[in-house]
A and B are shown apart, each in its own frame.
Chain A
């Protein structure tokens, strides 16, 4: 016999499928079987129709498409015999859904079957209708179902009741038709009918406010009595589940009472006694009993209650928490979570037990308990609870540490009563689970530390101890490195000792050791290493005796493949080596970070006013920059300073800071202030800012937030370029140029200078050279400021030096007086002269210029002329 014909029995097909060793084999068998069923379908084969449909249901369960069997269901349902109808209805429920139009065709068959003399066929039809009825079917067949609610056989009545639920869910308008039949069903004694009638009643109450009012008035007392009977009824073996008489019925009764009692004091009053009885009398050593108690607790929590019952209910949950069954603890925690809003005080009493559940062996219970503890923490219990949680953190599962750490940090941040406690707890958490804390957490810790000026010494000493024991926790290392960099001197000299502290002896070398270990540790990432470098630079100033050693450590990063590290190490190396005089100012302690700003940032709503209020008082006219205190401008980062170019004196360093900011703010690059001699420095600065723009880790390292355009005081943590720039301003240009000595030809420099215009050698002879430097005023791209710079390479002095220029008509030229008319020889000095060119056809034509330079060499008139047409485009 062909195993894949319609003659195959269902059993044989299942065997064939089970015998398949691979999914491909199974697909082949199913494909053949489906093909033969399709053939039988098109032959309109009557004999094996129900067998084929049974096969299709099996195939459907395995996940294969079976839509071609849908019409077969309808044919079977229309057949007269019971076996055909049974399979037909089964197929109808499994293979079809209410959205298919085929379903409309079955309405008539259903109507006939609902009126069938055989109650089992009626049962089949009710079951199918209850599972898949559409709104149209519900409308058409509601009268039949309503009538069946009074059918003589209870099995039909109970199915009709559940079928009605589907009907009123599909068509809520029909609800009122069912109210009266249900009211009479609620008086039944048959458990199954009662159970289903109560469910229908509950659903009527949810779809119709009137039904709810009706049942509340008419049925509350009756239902209370039914529950009383159920609780006190003699042993009924039929409905017994582990020694409790029909727990499911009791649960449904409690549920309907909850619906009726919710928000209604009178109805609630009626049920107080029986609820108390259920809560006290139900056996709690079996799951069934606990299910009843659980439902009872939920009902007590929802109804209007005088208070006595609620304590009882929460005590039941407290008992649940120490139950050995995981399921009971699980549901108890869920319920306590709801109860906390109803009666927080009562839940607080079970805090200790809940805390135990945080240590449960079941992960889902731990998670629930932790959430609950989090809700329970308040000002009064934060200290003991946090201690418990941190103690547990030491022994908890690895995969739970993330959740636990996040919650502890959140609790500590939210409720910390004092800074020293906050710092202590955070250090403990970092030591235990530093690899699990989020960046905001340790950023926040640093902000708090800087604000606690009396605790700087204490903190840095604690961190020094912490990094010795927990050097493998990245966050500990970072915070420790940052603090040692800032407060290393407090560490070595035991400054700011608190009474509770034990003095420790740390030498300067020990301190450097710690950082050296951290920078070399294999797990340290770019951020940590970059922070180490910064800390080392700071220590080199705090501990001059270690300067050479620090320089050696810094030098080791010069070859780093990471641009950021390489750059820092080269820059820092030159600072250490050549600029002792500016170093101490450069690496002064960070100003206090503003907590309000920081928390505002974390919340993502930084008030715009902050940046201006920080910046304004510190703004200084450009000319005064030379005398500005080194750190004064640290905060003057408000970017809206366009750095005026009017100053006539050739101040190389003017606008360094402005340049930095503009390069980070004005992406178009059209407004790049630039001065001869300063451009190299600008590079230095723009390197930092361009890195920040690229979103590389520089921003992360020292910026607490990534938002590097909203410069506020928090950015005092920001890139080193700022303090360098500031202190640089108090120094002669030449020495600053040296900063770059160690730099060598680096390809990054010109790239970083991208938006600016390169200087142009406008004229070059054997003895005289003229260099143009360009800059633009922001907002007026057609105006170009040119600074002409003349150098005399011969050994003679040029006198009566006059520079003249002419431009075509589309340009306007304005020449300012030259700085001098005498040009010293041998490149010992220069003359600068400013030109302002307005290009009326900006964007269309480039600049062109004729120049004439006349001067006297040994009283002899000399004349140089030329045309410059290689100006940068876009000027």
Chain B
């Protein structure tokens, strides 16, 4: 199970914080600070995994850096470490598609859209969808619905998906 997905910038400022195990806000901040202090002192050219006991002895942490941001996933031993790296890649690619060339500011100002994207990829600590095109489709639908709250779905794409299988 994935325990948390966190995005912080290289100054240690949180940009996205999503815990799948409830943590009080002080504890969340403490975890973020600890992770930041580990990551910012980490040498380059080392593995992307950190033994991390934030959530008990079996949890691990994988991180990737993209420009000024650290993407961090905390997970337990029922997850495949290498697959988590792919998952992060999918998440970032999806962000890139949704914001066309995503940068830190996109994430700062659209953090609730980023949450929507994340919710389409991970639900309750489990992966829902690994196809970034599927995620983008769903997120587009949701955005359209937000702007046109009174109509139902724009295109009955889901129906076509249903018929197509």
**Is B76 in contact with chain A by the CB < 8 A criterion?**
no
B69 contacts the other chain (Cβ, under 8 Å)? no
B124 touches A163 (CB 8 A): yes
A-B contact pairs, 5 of them (CB 8 A): A86-B142, A196-B126, A238-B131, A248-B83, A327-B47
Q: Do A154 and B111 form a contact, CB below 8 Å, given A97-B22, A331-B82, A364-B50? A: no
Q: CA–CA, A117 to B28, complex, Å?
A: 37
Set of chain B residues within 8 Å of A94, measured between Cβ atoms = 18, 115
A239 to B134 alpha-carbon distance, docked (Å) = 9
Asked if A362 and B141 sit within 8 Å, CB to CB, the answer is: no
User: What CA separation (Å) do A87 and B138 show in the bound complex?
Assistant: 16
Give residues 349-367 of A contacting B (CB, 8 Å): 361-365
A93 to B125, CA, bound (A): 13
Q: Does B16 contact A (CB under 8 A)?
A: yes
Closest partner residue, chain B, to A246 (CB atom): B130
B40 at the A/B interface (Cβ < 8 Å)? no
Evaluate contact between A364 and B25: CB separation under 8 angstroms: no
CB distance from B8 to the nearest CB of A (A): 10
A362 near B25: Cβ-Cβ < 8 Å: no
Partner among A57, A58, A165, A248 whose Cβ is within 8 Å of the Cβ of B87: A248
In the bound complex, CA of A361 to CA of B43 (Å): 10
The 5 closest A-B pairs by CB, nearest first: A291-B82, A97-B22, A130-B124, A326-B47, A63-B29
| Residue A102 CB within 8 A of the other chain | no
Contact B127 A190 (CB under 8 A): no
Contacts A64-B25, A132-B22, A327-B48 given; does A290 touch B82 at CB 8 Å:
yes
A365 to B20, CA, bound (A): 29
> In the complex the two chains form, what is the Cα distance from A488 to B128 in whole Å?
75
Is residue A287 contacting chain B, with contact meaning CB distance below 8 A? yes
- Whether the Cβ atoms of B128 and A196 lie closer than 8 Å is yes
Query: Shortest beta-carbon distance, A101 to chain B, in Å?
Result: 14
Contact across chains for A120 and B48 when beta carbons are under 8 A apart: no
- A57 to B25 alpha-carbon distance, docked (Å): 11
| A162-204 contacts to B (CB < 8 Å) | 162-163, 165-166, 188-192, 195-196, 199
In the complex, per-residue mask of B124-156: 1 if CB is within 8 Å of any chain A CB, else 0 = 101111110110001001100110010011000
Instruction: Among A87, A249, A290, A362, point to the contact of B46 (Cβ < 8 A).
Output: A362
A328 at the interface (CB under 8 A from B): yes
A82 vs chain B, min Cβ distance (A): 5
CA distance A14 to B109 in the complex (A): 7
Q: Which residues of B contact A601 (CB under 8 A)?
A: none
Contact flag A63-B119 (CB < 8 Å), given A152-B162, A166-B124, A362-B46: no
Would you call A99 an interface residue if the criterion is a C-beta within 8 Å of the partner chain's C-beta atoms?
yes
Cβ contacts under 8 Å, B165 to chain A: 154, 188-190
Of chain B, the residue at the smallest CB distance from A15 is B109
Q: With A87-B112, A158-B129 given, can you name 13 additional A-B contacts, CB distance below 8 Å? A: A11-B109, A57-B111, A57-B112, A61-B15, A131-B124, A154-B162, A162-B126, A191-B130, A192-B131, A241-B86, A247-B86, A291-B82, A331-B82
- Complex partner residue of B108 from A18, A196, A247, CB under 8 angstroms: A18
Which residues from B are CB-within-8-Å of A192? 128-131, 134
> How far, in whole Å, are A290 and B83 apart by their CA atoms in the complex?
9
How would residues 241 to 255 of chain A score, 1 for a CB under 8 Å from any chain B CB and 0 otherwise? 100001111010001
Q: How many residues of B contact A (CB 8 A)?
A: 60
Bound-state CA distance A413–B111 (Å) is 57
Residue A54 CB within 8 A of the other chain: yes
Which of B80, B82, B86, B162 is within 8 Å of A328, CB to CB? Answer: B82
Tell me, yes or no, whether A208 is within 8 Å of chain B by CB.
Answer: no
**Minimum distance in angstroms from A875 CB to a CB of chain B:** 61
Report if A295 contacts B (CB, 8 A). Answer: yes
- B14: chain A residues at CB < 8 Å are 61-63
User: Once the chains are docked, how many angstroms separate the CA of A290 from the CA of B138?
Assistant: 30
Q: When the two chains form their complex, are residues B82 and A287 in contact, meaning their CB atoms are under 8 A apart?
A: yes
B158 interfacial contact with A, CB 8 Å: yes
Tally A-B pairs: CB < 8 A: 184
A60 sits at the interface (CB 8 A): yes
Report yes or no: B128 in contact with A82, Cβ–Cβ below 8 A: no
Which among B15, B86, B152 is the interface contact of A291 at CB below 8 angstroms? B86
- B131 adjacent to A191 (CB under 8 Å): yes
With the chains together, A632 CA to B14 CA distance in Å?
A: 73
Are B145 and A120 in contact (CB-based, < 8 A)? yes
Residues of B within 8 Å of A241, CB to CB, are 86, 89-90, 130
Residue of A nearest to B24 (CB): A97
**What is the CA–CA distance of A90 and B115 in the complex, to the nearest angstrom?**
8
The reply to whether A63 and B46 form a contact with Cβ atoms under 8 Å apart is no
Residue B67, interface by CB 8 Å: no
CB proximity of A252 to chain B, nearest CB, Å: 8
Say whether chain A's binding surface is mostly helix, strand, loop, or mixed. helix
Q: Let me know if B162 and A294 touch, CB within 8 A.
A: no
Cα of A362 to Cα of B48 in the assembled complex, Å: 10
Tell me if A291 and B83 are in contact (CB < 8 A).
yes
Is residue B45 within 8 Å, beta carbon to beta carbon, of the partner chain?
A: yes
With A and B bound together, what is the CA distance between A162 and B119 in angstroms?
A: 12
Expressed in whole angstroms, the minimum distance between the Cβ of A348 and any Cβ of chain B is 24
CA A159 – CA B108 in complex, angstroms?
27
CA distance A474 to B124 in the complex (A): 55
Binary flags per residue of A286-330, CB closer than 8 Å to B gives 1, else 0 = 011011001100000000000000000000000000000011111
- A86 with B80: CB separation less than 8 A: no
Nearest opposing residue in chain A for B14, CB measure: A61
List A residues 7-59 near B (Cβ within 8 Å): 10-11, 14, 18, 54, 57-58
| A863 shortest CB reach to chain B, Å | 87
CB neighbors of A among B48-94 (8 A): 48-51, 78, 80-83, 85-87, 89-90
Write the nearest CB–CB distance from A399 to chain B, whole angstroms: 11
Contacts of B83 in A (CB 8 A): 247-248, 251, 291, 295
**In the complex, A552→B1 CA distance in Å?**
72
Inter-subunit contact B45/A61 (CB<8 Å) = no
Task: Report A333 CB to chain B, min CB distance, Å.
Answer: 10
B102 at the interface (CB under 8 A from A): no
Docked complex: B1-49 residues within 8 A CB-CB of A: 14-18, 20, 22, 25-26, 28-29, 32, 43, 45-49
Using known A-B contacts A120-B153, A155-B138, A155-B158, determine if residue A362 contacts B47 with beta carbons closer than 8 Å.
Answer: yes
Complex Cα distance A14/B14, Å? 13
B47, A248: Cβ atoms under 8 Å? no
- Residues of chain B within 8 A of A290, CB atoms compared: 82
User: Nearest Cβ distance between residue A94 and chain B, in whole angstroms?
Assistant: 8
- Closest B residue, CB atoms, query A129: B124
A872 at the interface (CB under 8 A from B): no
Q: Does A153 contact B (CB under 8 A)?
A: yes
Q: Which of B109, B129, B149 makes the CB contact (< 8 A) with A83?
A: B149
Cα distance, A237 to B63, chains bound together (Å): 26
Given A82-B145, A248-B83: A61 in contact with B17 (beta carbons within 8 A): yes
**Interface residue from B45, B108, B126 paired with A326 (Cβ < 8 Å):** B45
Min CB–CB distance A257 → chain B (angstroms): 14
B155 to chain A, nearest CB (A): 13
Contacts of B119 in A (CB 8 A): 93, 127
The yes or no answer to B123 lying at the interface (CB within 8 A) is: yes
Chain B residues with CB below 8 A from A166, complex form: 124
Q: Which residues of chain A come closer than 8 Å to B152, judged between CB atoms?
A: 117-118
The complex places the Cα of A90 from the Cα of B114 at a distance, in Å, of 11
Complex-state Cα separation, A189 to B161, whole angstroms? 11
CB neighbours of B138 from chain A (8 A): 123, 155
Pick from A62, A118, A248, A361 the residue with the most CB of B within 10 Å. A248
Q: Please determine whether A363 and B46 come into contact, CB atoms closer than 8 angstroms.
A: yes
Considering the complex, give the chain A residue whose CB is closest to the CB of B90.
A241
| Residue of chain B at shortest CB distance from A290 | B82
Query: Bound state CA distance, A740 and B124, in angstroms?
Result: 80
- Cβ of A690 < 8 Å from any Cβ of B? no
Q: What distance in Å separates the Cβ of A839 from its nearest Cβ neighbour in chain B?
A: 63
- Type the 1/0 row for A56-82, where 1 means its CB is closer than 8 Å to any CB of B: 011011111110000000000000011
A64 CA / B24 CA spacing, docked (Å) = 11
* Docked complex Cα distance between A294 and B77 (Å): 13
Query: Is A98 in the interface zone, CB < 8 Å from B?
Result: yes
Most chain B CB neighbours (cut-off 10 Å) among A54, A120, A152, A326:
A120
